[in-house]
Amino acid sequence: MKKKILKILESLEKLDRRIIFIFIVGAIALPLIFPLNIDFSVTPPVQSFYDEIQSLPEGSKVLLACDYDPGSMPELWPMNLAVVRQLCQKNLKVISIQLWATGSPLAEAAFNQVAVSEFNKKYGVDFVNLGFKEGREIVMVSLGESIPITFPTDYHGNRVEDLPIMKDVKNYKDLDIIINISGGLPGTKEWILQVVSRFHIKLVSGCTAVSAPEFYPYLQSGQLVGLLGGMKGAAEYEKLVGETGLGRRGMDSQSVSHIVVFLFILIGNIAYFSTRKKKKR
Amino acid sequence: MRREVPIVICFLAGFFFISDFFIPEPHWTQIAHRVNQWAIIVIAFAYVLGVGNIVRVNSQVIKRKERDWGYKILLLSGLVLMIILGIGFGIKEGTTFNWIFMNAMYPMQATMFSLLAFYIASAAFRAFRIRTWEAALLGVTAVLVMIGRVPVGEFLWRPFPDFIEWIMNVPQLAAKRAIMIGAALGAISTGLKVLVGLERTYMGGE
C-alpha cells in the first residue's frame, strides 16, 4: 500500500504539464458559464482612484492616456470602459492621447462604445482623441509646453486648435488630472518621472497586475493618487462606478484558477517531500 | 577630433536637458521645447529607417531561401498591405486597416498573452518547491498574495485583502524602494560618466 502511494506521488511530481493546462482551462471557463458571484470589497488604492475623479467639478478637463495594446486588453479594457463611464457620468471633458500606436483604435472603440452610444457625448465638445505620437518621454514633456503644437491634428485629422474642447487648453496647467491606462513602457512610471514631479499635476493609473507592485512606492509617496491593479482592480472600480463589466465577470474565473494553481503547488510539494527520502537513499 | 567632438556634443546636450529640468526660466524652457520637437521629428524618421531595415534583412532571407523564408514573405506582405491601407484609405473605425487590426492583430496578441496563464500555472507547480527557508518564504508569500488578491480570499477570511495590502505596502514596498533607489543611483553615476566622457562605449570600442 505504502509503495503504491509512493508511486502515485512520484508520478505526481513529474505531472505532465498538459494535465495542468486542462485544469486551468476548466478553472477559467466553467466559472464564466456558471458564475459563483463571490462578493468582494474595494481596496484603498482603487477607492482613491475613484474618489479623485469623483471630486473633480463638472466640466473639468482630464487627460486620458491609453498606453496599451490588445495583449493586455483582458485587464485594461474593462478599466478603460469604466473610466470613460465615470468621466461621462461626471460630465468631465476628456482629452485622450496614446503613446502606444496600438492604443489608438482601442481608445477610439472605448469612446464609441460608452461616450457616444451610452451617454450621447459629442466628439470635439465633450471628448477628443488626439491619437498616437511617437517620442515617448519627449512627447510627455512636450505636452507640458504646448498640447496643440505636440498634437496639431487629432486622430480624425481635425485641427486641434479648432475643436471647442481644446479652447483654453494649452498645456498641463489647463488640465485637472491625468489618467493613465498603462500596459508597460512608456507608461505610468514615465508619467510620474517626467510629468508629475515636473509639472505638478495629479496622476491616477490603471495597470496590469504584474506591474502594480512597482507603483506602490509612488502611491505611498503621493506621486500617484490612485491605482487600479489588474483585473481585480478593474472589478473593484466597476463596482464603484456601478456596472457589471468584464472585470467583475472575470473575477470568479480568476478566483478558481488561483485556487487551482495553489492546489498544484501544494500537490507538488507533498509529492516532493514524500519522495525526497527515497531519492536520498 | 573623432572622439572629442561626439563627447562635447554629448556633454552639451546632456547638460542642456538636465538644466531644463531644474531651471524654470521661460527662454531656456522654450529652447528646450524646440529641441524636443526636433527629437520627435527625428524619432519619426527612425520609423522609416526601421521599415527599410526590416525590408532589407527579410528580403535577403527570402532571396537566399534561408530558414523560415516563407514566414518572411508573410511578414513583408503584411507590412506593405498595412502601409498601403493605412496611408491610402485611413486608419479610423470602419476602414479596412482598422478591421484588420481588430480582427487579426487583436485576437492574435490576446492569444499570445493568454498563454501566459497556462505557462505560469505549470511553472508555479514546478518552481515553488520548498527546498530551503528562503524558498519557503517566497512560496508562502506568493500563495498568500495569490489567494488574497482574488475574491475567494476574502470569502475564506474577511480581513485577507487588508493583510495583502499590508504585505504590498510594507515588506514589498520596502524591498522595491531599496532596489529603485539603488538602480537610480547607478543610473545617475552612469549618466554622469557618459556626460563627462569617462564612459565612451556608446561610440564603439573601449
Q: What is the CATH number of the domain that holds A179?
A: 3.40.50.450
Give chain B's largest Cα–Cα span. Answer: 71
B124, HSE (Cβ side, Cα atoms, 13 Å)? 26
Chain B residues touching residue A17 (CB < 8 angstroms) = 122, 125
State whether A24 and A55 are in the same domain.
Answer: no
**pLDDT for residue A280 is more than 80:** no
Task: Specify the pLDDT at position A274.
Answer: 85
- What is the crossing angle of helices B133-148 and B160-167, to 10°? 130
Interface of B with A in 83-142 (CB under 8 A): 91-93, 98, 101-102, 105-107, 109-110, 112-114, 117-118, 120-122, 124-126, 128-130, 139
Burial of B57 (0-12, 13-18, 19+ CB in 10 A): exposed
A29 and A49 belong to one structural domain = no
Instruction: Return the percentage of chain B with pLDDT > 70, whole number.
Output: 99
Residue B201 pLDDT = 85
CB crowding A51-76: b at 16 or more within 10 Å, else e: ebbeebeeebbbbbbbbbbbbbbbbb
Which alpha helices (H) appear in A155-245, and where do they start and end? 188-191, 197-199, 212-221, 230-241
Tell me, what DSSP letter sits at residue B24?
-
Note whether residue A250 is domain-resident.
no
Looking at the structure, tell me whether residues A7 and A52 fall in a common domain.
no
Please indicate, yes or no, whether residues A29 and A94 belong to a single structural domain of this protein. Answer: no
Residue A251 lies in a domain: no
Residue A193 touches chain B, beta carbons under 8 Å: no
Instruction: Tell whether the model's pLDDT for residue A256 goes beyond 70.
Output: yes
pLDDT tens-digit readout, A65-97: 999 999 999 899 999 999 999 999 999 999 999
Residues in chain B predicted with pLDDT less than 70, given as ranges, are 205-206
Decide if A197 touches B, using CB distance below 8 A. Answer: no
pLDDT band at A50 (very low <50, low <70, confident <90, very high): very high
What pLDDT score was predicted for residue A81? 97
CA angle A42, A46, A47 (to 5 degrees): 70
pLDDT of amino acid B24: 78
CB < 8 Å to A268, chain B = 125-126, 128-129
pTM of this structure = 0.91
Mutate: best of A265, A269, A274, A275, partner B, most B CBs <10 A = A265
Q: Which DSSP state fits A47?
A: H
**What is the rounded average pLDDT of the residues A12-24?**
90
| C-alpha cell read off for A102 | 496600438
Position A39 in a domain: no
Indicate the number of domains in chain A. 2
Residue A11 sits in the same domain as residue A86: no
The answer to whether B152 faces chain A, any CB pair under 8 Å, is yes
Mark whether A167 and A74 lie in a shared domain: yes
Query: A209 and A90 in one domain?
Result: yes
Helix orientation angle between B69-89 and B26-64, rounded to the nearest 10 degrees: 140
Q: What is the predicted ipTM?
A: 0.87
pLDDT for A14 equals 81
Q: In B, which residues are within 8 Å of A262 by CB distance?
A: 143, 146-147
Q: How far is B125 from chain A (nearest CA, A)?
A: 5
Instruction: Please name the residues between 50 and 89 in chain B that touch chain A, using a CB distance below 8 Å.
Output: none
Which amino acid type is present at position A239?
K
Q: What is the mean pLDDT of chain A?
A: 93
- If contacts are CB pairs under 8 Å, which of residues 30-59 in chain A contact chain B? 38-41, 43-44
A131 and A270 in a common domain: no
Same domain, A276 and A235: no
The answer on pLDDT for A20 being more than 70 is yes
- My answer on whether A99 and A238 are in the same domain is yes
Residue A249 lies in a domain: no
Burial class (CB in 10 A: 0-12, 13-18, 19+), B55: middle
Residues A140 and A264 in one domain: no
Closest C-alpha to A58, from A90, A16, A94, A89: A90
pLDDT tens digit sequence for A199-213: 999 999 999 999 999
Chain B residues whose beta carbon lies within 8 Å of the beta carbon of residue A213? 168, 172, 176
A152 in any annotated domain: yes
Contacts of B146 in chain A (CB under 8 A): 258, 261-262
**Residue from the list A24, A134, A258 with its beta carbon closest to the beta carbon of B150:** A258
Quick check: helix, strand or coil at residue A99?
A: coil
- C-alpha A260, offset from chain centre: 24
What is the 8-class DSSP label of residue B205? -
Is pLDDT above 90 for A117?
yes
Enumerate the H helices of A14-160 as residue ranges. 17-33, 44-54, 73-89, 103-110, 137-145, 147-150
Residues in chain A with CB shorter than 8 Å from the CB of B28 are none
Task: For A43, name the nearest residue in chain B, comparing CA atoms only.
Answer: B161
Instruction: Tell me, yes or no, whether A261 and A144 share the same domain.
Output: no
B36 contacts in A (CB within 8 Å)?
A: 138, 141-142, 145
Q: Which residues contact B192 (CB under 8 A, 6 or more apart)?
A: none
Q: Is any Cβ of chain A less than 8 angstroms from the Cβ of B167?
A: no
pLDDT the model gives residue B205 = 60
Residue ranges making up the domain that contains A14: 2-34+257-280
